[in-house]
Structures are given as C-alpha cells and as structure tokens.
Amino acid sequence: MVSDSITNASIPSIPNSKDFAKKKRTNRSAKLKQCKLDARREQWLSQGAVKSKGCKDGLGDDRKERDRALENSRQREEDNNNDRSIHHESDSESPSNSPVNSLLSGGGTDSATNFGGSSGSSSSSGSSVCGSSTGGCCSGSITEEEEEDGCLDDWEAVADALAADDDNNNNKTEVEHDNPCYQSPSESQLSVQSDSLHDLTSEFGLDSVNSMPDSARVGYNMRAWRPDDAFRPQTLPNLAKQRSFPASDRRFVPGGVPWTCNNVLTVPSSCPICCEELDFTDSNFLPCLCGFRLCLFCHKRILEEDGRCPGCRKPYKRDEIESEASVQGGSLTFRLARSCSMIARS
C-alpha cells in the first residue's frame, strides 16, 4: 500500500489547491446528480466501508489516483521496457488477469518516486490512496445513516460536512481535484489508455479483490465510487443498475411484510372442502390453530356436524370462532384475533 513518508510529503501542497478543489467539486456534483440513483444502488450493493462519500470525494481522487497508479506503473514499465506493459495490454482483453494487483503494486512506492520527480502537487496522488481510502471508510458509516433517513439528495452538504470533519484526509484528497490541471500531456494520454484497463478493473475488481485479503480494502473502495465517475463509460452504469435491482428489491422486502403475509394467507386459492374459490374474507379466515383453511360456509357446515377441524380433527374452539366471527369484516383485526388466540394457546 502507501507508506507514511509519501503521505507526509503530500501535505504541504494542500492549502494552495483547496479552494479550487471545492469549485471543481461543485461542478462535479451536477454530473453526480444524474447518476446519483445508480450510485445509491451500487452503494447499497457494495458493503459498509465503501459509501457515498467515497463516491463524492474520492470519485475523482481515487479514480485519478488509480489512473495515476496505473500510469505510474505503466510509465515505469515503459521506462523499464519490461514485459509487464505487454501484460497490461493483454489485461484489457482478459480482465481476469487482476489488474488490481499490478495497480496496487504500482500505486505504492513506484508512483511516489515517479510523481515526486515530475511535480510537487502530483506527488500527492500517491498518498491519496491512503487518504481518500480512509476518508471513504470514515464517511461510509455516516452516509449510511443518511441513506436510512432518506435524505441522500443532499450530497453536497454531506460531502462538505464530511470534508470539514476529516480535514486531513480531505486535504489530501482535494489536492487530487487539481491534478488534472497538473497533468502532463503524457500523463493524460496514459490515463486515456488506462481508462479501459481501469474500467475492466471496475468490472472484475470485486472478484479479484475478494481473493486478496490485505489489499482488498483499497480495491474494494475503488469499485464503490466507480459508478459515479463522470468519465465512466455509459454502459457500466446501466450494468450496475441492472445488477443492483435485486438488491433494491431485497431492501424493500422488510418493508413489504404485509405482502409476505398476504402471500402466506392466500396459499390455498380454493377451499379444500368444497373447491370453491376463497374470497377475501375466507382467505383471511383461520379457524384452527393447525392452520387448516376452509371457506366460511364449509366451516359452518362442519360446526353443525361434528365441529372438528378437517386438518387436525380437533374440535373447533367456540370462543376462538366467536372472536374471529366478530371481526370477519377486516383482515387486520382478524389477524389480531388470531395472534390473541395463539398467545392464549401458549
């Protein structure tokens, strides 16, 4: 990962770039709003540590930092003329080669040396791996609460508040916003090249990351804010949206308890005794604790004869019947009666 010495080196460049970074962030938020929904779904999909702040703050930062890392590794590779550059080319075709690995290795000491050589501000890009990733972790819990409150719309406020909260981290990351300006032409070209690689990483990042215990944190964070990335290809957000639909469904299942209950209640669509369809009242009628359902008419008929439940042969309880008959009109009150009878039983 990133060593402390690199992080320290990045700090001096913060004050200059801070204001500019905020402006940039404001502009960026407009773009962010478009893919906000996608981001939320994606965030819901991805777990705790990677949250919206990462998307907001770390979006450009970490992306760039990752690009940077890739660039660095690329630069280094090109400089060294070693085989790994070829390996990277093949990465774009076979993404399963875990570009994250090379990315991570490149993001560490390599990038630090490269950027330290090129310019002071861009040298902080190496450190931002540490800064923004920790920032993402911190903000993760906060924005999670925001999500539950349903006020995710206020992204900028959240981001600003977070920026105020963890100044150190953000100071480092904000520098990142300036980095495009400081990018040398060769770097930008490289970033374009690395974009494809990088996106492939995003697709397969999770899988490859899962197998990496130590470096998984950074790789995981990377994945989370990818859908928010303004430079992201249009195809990927759609993919994320589709992928996250089941997740959103799952999310609403707890709220949809009535639906589940309803499903259970209407399991028999017809009365097992007379084979007539159960109407709404019938389907909410549970005369016996054994759970055997039948229509009201058959129930009445059985009461006239032996008064035993067809499902368990136990005699129907009179008081139970009364309580339920009194609330036949509404399923809700019926369920109350049912639960009461269950309590009485236990």
Partner 1 sequence: MATVNGYQSNTPVASPTATTATKQSVNPVKTVDSQSVLKRLQSELMALMMSGDSGISAFPEEDNIFSWKGTIHGSKDTVFEGTEYKLSLYFPNDYPFKPPKVKFETGCFHPNVDVYGNICLDILQDKWSSAYDVRTILISIQSLLGEPNISSPLNSQAAQLWCNQEEYRKMVEKLYKPPSARIEGV
Binding site for partner 1 (CB under 8 A): 270, 272-276, 279-282, 292, 295-298, 300-305, 308, 310-311, 313, 318, 321-323, 325-326, 328-329
Q: Please, what is the minimum distance in Å from the beta carbon of residue 298 to partner 1? A: 7
CA 73, CA 106: separation in Å to the nearest integer?
Answer: 5
Residue among 63 and 299 whose Cβ is closer to partner 1: 299
Phi/psi region, residue 82 (left: phi>0; alpha: psi -120 to 50; beta: rest), is: beta
CA 309, CA 324: separation in Å to the nearest integer?
Answer: 15
Q: Are 167 and 101 in contact (CB under 8 A)?
A: no
Residue among 209 and 298 whose Cβ is closer to partner 1: 298
Residue among 6 and 278 whose Cβ is closer to partner 1: 278
Q: Please, what is the minimum distance in Å from the beta carbon of residue 311 to partner 1? A: 6
Number of residues that make up the chain: 346
Q: Please, what is the minimum distance in Å from the beta carbon of residue 316 to partner 1? A: 11
Residue among 40 and 317 whose Cβ is closer to partner 1: 317
Place of tokens 């920026």: 163
DSSP code string of 299-310: HHHHHHTT-B-T
Residue among 120 and 272 whose Cβ is closer to partner 1: 272
- Give which of 26, 37, 95, 40 is closest to 224, Cα–Cα: 40
Q: Please, what is the minimum distance in Å from the beta carbon of residue 267 to partner 1? A: 15
Please provide residue 277's backbone torsions phi and psi, each rounded to the nearest 5 degrees.
-65, 140
- Give which of 306, 308, 303 is closest to 322, Cα–Cα: 303
CA 11, CA 171: separation in Å to the nearest integer?
Answer: 8
CA 344, CA 186: separation in Å to the nearest integer?
Answer: 78
Residue among 148 and 304 whose Cβ is closer to partner 1: 304
Q: Please, what is the minimum distance in Å from the beta carbon of residue 339 to partner 1? A: 18
Q: Please, what is the minimum distance in Å from the beta carbon of residue 304 to partner 1? A: 6
